[in-house]
Structure 1
């Protein structure tokens, strides 16, 4: 429970910064009229041609979900009404805590990049990420989430973000986490910019294992046995074995192979 409370504090800090950037269009006079004129179907029609997906439409100026659709209940167990009513708070149910922090910190990086670009380029800059989506019945889907700005105010600050979720569990069984910007503002030179750097999340990872345990884990991942690790770190083999036991307990794994796999997938290593 101590770990959960620690991560909740990190989520709160990250979400405050995310909100600062995502809500730039809040309170702008012409936004209401633009919302009335917006036609979501113009954007959804294209996606129907090549993918099966479900979606949500978020008003980022108010941090609310105003629409959702597709086979969302079939995939997740949540109804359209539940998604709209619970909105952003649903993230805490469908994400692992670390993924929520990754989403908000990566989202902040996305908005910083977006606002650094010329206004006319912003409609062509979206952000993608992969995640384990936790369904209502506890099942996990590995999904690609594409977040696309689809409505702007007169200052070209986003009002609506369309979130498209595609199940890629069969396409990427390794479930490797990724978070990146796709900048297609120059169609001849599109850019893919990674937003995920494990060093940005070291404060979250170190809440689970100590720095000493992390050093041992890094050497285990390189294939070293306890004697080699002890020699490398100038500690006793007994200390190494103690660290290994603590790592297994804290990461809730049955063996070190499982630990290394989990650490790689979550970006610890």
Structure 2
């Protein structure tokens, strides 16, 4: 993984955590959890067609329930993710998108806490992003993050995250994030998150020799063919590929090529 991106991710995640965990350790938080009928709440979503959901405990930063067409859409069994920390599911996003997603979460909480307490249940965050499906190609998703449980101070505890596959509906695969405030029926606000350009985020981590290999990979050439074309050993070509995968946090050649194209590195 690119060390500069990793540092930015770490710093951003720490800031997000400080917002998300404001209700941590409060008696009213524990009381709210004990009295919340989660299964009854979820019944209202059973009419949705192909979707899956994750219930996230923002106070403890963990996943407490998953369901819907979870395995069909994402390749994971619900029991593989329940009880896991946020970081488990966040790994399914491409690194540049992940940093934007967390920054969008910071903007969401910042906006939420500036609103009157009675308005907070009506404020959610929506985003579109590429999601790495287990053992399959990535899909483009619409994520909707809705606060469903608050403590007495109206600090959010549980979020319902509804995930829909929109790969065939949205030809533009760019990451988007916005806040939707429906607290006033006569003045529904859609606030798009604006991301400031980041030199770190857009910095090309690929060396000149790696780029030559990657360009031929993008043409569909095998390691042996690339080695012959560049007068390298096949071992060197494979090492370049391995190093690029590690730098960019990718798991396959297809993902590596896609990430490089999206960021304009090749």
Superposition TM-score, scaled by structure 2 size = 0.76
Matched, 1:249 2:217: no
SS of the aligned residue for 2:113 comes to: helix
Aligned to 1:132: 130
CA deviation vs aligned residue, 1:109-133 (integer Å, no higher than 9, x gap)? 1100000111100000000111111
Return 5+ residue gaps in structure 2 as ranges.
220-257
Aligned to 1:29: 27
Cα deviation, residue 49, structure 1: 2.9
Change (3 A) 1:172 1:127: same
- Which 4+ stretches in 1 moved above 6 angstroms? 258-261
Q: Would you say the 8 A contact 1:133–1:141 is kept in 2?
A: yes
Aligned to 1:262: 262
2:52 to 51, 54, 79: 54
SS of the aligned residue for 1:103 comes to: helix
Cα deviation, residue 42, structure 1: 4.5
Change (3 A) 1:116 1:144: same
Superposition TM-score, scaled by structure 1 size = 0.75
Residues 179-198 of structure 1 aligned to structure 2 (within 5 Å): 179-197=177-195
CA deviation vs aligned residue, 1:118-176 (integer Å, no higher than 9, x gap)? 11000000001111110110421110010000000111000111111001111112213
CA deviation vs aligned residue, 1:217-237 (integer Å, no higher than 9, x gap)? xxxxxxxxxxxxxxxxxxxxx
CA deviation vs aligned residue, 1:184-229 (integer Å, no higher than 9, x gap)? 01111101001132x25443113548xxxxxxxxxxxxxxxxxxxx
Residues 53-72 of structure 1 aligned to structure 2 (within 5 Å): 53-72=51-70
Aligned to 1:164: 162
- Size of the aligned set, in residue pairs, is 225
CA deviation vs aligned residue, 1:47-91 (integer Å, no higher than 9, x gap)? 333442111111111111111111211111111111113331213
SS of the aligned residue for 1:21 comes to: helix
Return 5+ residue gaps in structure 1 as ranges.
210-244
